[in-house]
Amino acid sequence: MTQSVVVQVGQCGNQIGCCFWDLALREHAAVNQKGIYDDAISSFFRNVDTRVVGDGGSISKGRISSLKARAVLIDMEEGVVNEILQGPLRDVFDSKQLITDISGSGNNWAVGHKVFGSLYREQILEKLRKSAEHCDCLQCFFVIHSMGGGTGSGLGTFLLKVLEDEFPEVYRFVTAVYPSSEDDVITSPYNSMLAMKELNEHADCVLPIDNQSLFDIISKIDLVVNSGKLGTTVKPKSLVTSNMGAVTKRHKKPFDAMNNIVANLLLSLTSSARFEGSLNMDLNEISMNLVPFPQLHYLVSSLTPLYTLADVNIPPRRLDQMFSDAFSKDHQLMQADPRHSLYLACALIVRGDVQISDLRRNIERLKPALQFVSWNQEGWKTSLCSVPPVGHSHSLLALANNTCVKPTFMELRERFMRLYKKKAHLHHYLQVDGMEESAFAEAVSSLSALIQEYNELDATKSMPVPDVPRLSVAM
């Protein structure tokens, strides 16, 4: 079995990370009721004998003693990490795996990337190495951060370069939360643009998440819950509707619920690496099959059902409907409609009591309505994991390498140019040591080149698909 390390950076990254570890523990507790430390748990957790001082307390077999997350927590202000350390998950994190400061990055990519990057590089590297040493077979680093803030965008993308230099053979999967157009951080277009260049150059796969899409999804769930229809009652202590978290109390927007959706995405993404199934898909297979060109590594994700962990007593969707939902724009975790754009490749990660025949039937049913590039008409990668999410009979995560990400990147460039043309707030960045104005021009050039690559692919949409003779295989 392989292991993965989660690196959560900044306020957003640590809040999503906190939800992920909570849900991961619930999921493994539901499956592993005997309390035995097995391969599935070892993928994200170490088993530690807390009576042993130092690093000698790791237990590879037997009963679970004390689980420690394979995680590194980084934030340049202490608030969120302190909340985690005082909350119910405090024993899951090793205090040696935390890096915090008190001043924060002031919503400035340059401060996070240039100042804190150089200041904390050795500490970050030491903690990453320590996490790697605790793994038998480290396969992937999951980096979680926002694009709009200073620490998430700046230090989060600085970290990617460190990972590439020090662990070149280990995959770098990034979950990046993009700000909405109504974001309250005025400098978020600068931060996002500068971070995009780093993602283009140093990530293996990026799962872009749109704050507005998450908010719309939660609003729809609330609408169903409040409709009063039979079977839509909210379960006690529901994660989707709970306002127990300090974050929810401080903000009007339901960030806890939004973060849970992203956490469920990561659980589904890694389900095949953690549990048995008739069609397993390793994380390296996602990168290998879904990323045909190095820079086109942005995967649009959709989840169904959206209220996992049985938060709402809604009757399960029919299996075929679940597949249809995964391709509807209402279930995408960013503002995009892949059905009307061009697919380079698509992965379907199915969990629960689903047969291979169900999977094939639905692909054949949906294929005529989806347009794939001419050279990859059979660009499907599939996975069947036998363990469903807690409280559900089945679920589906779709990952699409699709040109529908282009409008999001074009809008980001537009918002950036509105500020940059006026040189508004630019002095805050240029007064940071090591930050040159040329970095902005290079970032725009990098994103424009990416958009152009998608344009060139879109231009092939109307081209006829050559009818290539194929071998018939008897089933």
- DSSP notation for 153-210: IIIHHHHHHHHHHH-TTSEEEEEEEEPPTT-S-TTHHHHHHHHHHHHHHH-SEEEEEE
pLDDT higher than threshold 60 for residue 333: yes
Is pLDDT of 20 > 60? yes
Nearest to 426 by CA among 414, 413, 439: 439
What tens digit of pLDDT does each residue of 223-261 get?
777 776 545 444 444 443 333 333 333 334 448 889 999
Residue 288 has pLDDT above 70, yes or no: yes
The model's confidence at residue 71, banded by pLDDT at 50, 70 and 90, is: very high
Distance CA 320, CA 318 (A): 6
**331 pLDDT above the threshold of 50:** yes
Tokens of 167: 């662990």
Mean pLDDT, range 100-119, rounded to an integer: 95
* pLDDT at residue 226, as a whole number: 73
Q: If you average pLDDT over residues 339-346, what whole number do you get? A: 96
Q: Which CATH number fits domain 3-215: 3.40.50.1440, 3.40.50.10490, 3.30.70.360, 3.90.1720.10?
A: 3.40.50.1440
Confidence of residue 390 (pLDDT cuts 50, 70, 90): confident
* 72 has pLDDT over 90: yes
- Across the range 196-202, mean pLDDT stands at 98
What pLDDT, in 10s, does the model give residues 348-375?
999 998 999 999 999 999 999 999 999 9
Q: What is the pLDDT of residue 472?
A: 53
For residue 5, pLDDT over 90 is answered with yes
pLDDT of residue 441: 96
Check whether 211 has a pLDDT greater than 80.
Answer: yes
Q: What is the pLDDT of residues 165-180, one digit of tens each?
A: 999 999 999 999 999 8
Residue 55's pLDDT band, with cuts at 50, 70 and 90, is low
Which pLDDT band, with edges at 50, 70 and 90, does 273 fall under? confident
pLDDT for the residue 326: 93
Query: 293: which DSSP letter?
Result: S
Question: Per mean pLDDT, which range of 311-315, 337-341, 374-378 is the poorest?
Answer: 311-315
What does the domain layout of the chain look like in residue ranges?
3-215
Number of residues that this document lists for the chain: 475
Dig out the tokens for 181 from the structure: 């157009």
Mean pLDDT of the chain: 88
Q: Rounded to whole angstroms, what are the CA distances from 93 to 47, 68, 74, 90?
A: 12, 6, 12, 6
Q: Is the pLDDT of residue 401 over 50?
A: yes
Spatial separation of the C-alpha atoms in residues 338 and 405, rounded to whole Å: 8
Predicted confidence at residue 234, as pLDDT, reads 46
pTM: 0.90
